[in-house]
Amino acid sequence: MTALTALAEPHRLLIVELLRNGPRPVGEIADKLQLNQPQVSKHLRVLTDAGVVEVHPIAQQRIYSLRPQAFREIDDWLEPYRRLMDDRYNRLNDYLRRAQAKEKRHARKN
């Protein structure tokens, strides 16, 4: 499952938003989101498999944190449209500069 598909589930997105503030153990995530722990564990497993979060065992606890690489991947999702429009605006701006330079040259001649 890709990161994007994993994040399509609203509870998993909430977990990710919570982890933005820093790494958390399962119990704390369940408390904060008022979900039961088995449910949260299931979501965390999906997020881990998709590479969105990673887990570090510390003492008796399993601490979950975000994996920034996954977010770069999602950012790429928006990239084709961003590039298409950026290129178009750049060409438009180039055209406008050329048109104005031409106007100035004509003005000088007259």
Buried b (16+ CB within 10 A) or exposed e, 33-50: bebeeeebeebbebbeeb
Binding part of the chain for other proteins, among 23-31, 33-41, 43-51, 83-91 by CB under 8 A, reads 83-91
Answer for which of 37, 56, 96, 104 binds other proteins (CB under 8 A) is 96
Sorted by sequence, the CB contacts under 8 Å of residue 7 that are 6+ apart come out as 13, 16, 52, 74
> N- to C-terminal Cα distance for the chain?
67
Answer for which of 45, 95, 102, 104 binds other proteins (CB under 8 A) is 95
Angle (deg, nearest 10), helices 26-33 and 10-19? 120
Under the binding rule (CB under 8 A), the answer on residue 49 touching other proteins is: no
Under the binding rule (CB under 8 A), the answer on residue 35 touching other proteins is: no
Give the pair of three-digit tokens for residue 76: 């790429």
What is the smallest separation between the CB atom of 76 and other proteins, expressed in angstroms? 10
Identity of the residue, 58 or 84, whose beta carbon is nearer to other proteins in the bound complex: 84
Residues forming contacts to other proteins in the complex (CB under 8 A) are 2, 4-5, 7-10, 13, 16-17, 20, 66, 68, 71, 74-75, 77-78, 80-82, 84-89, 91-100
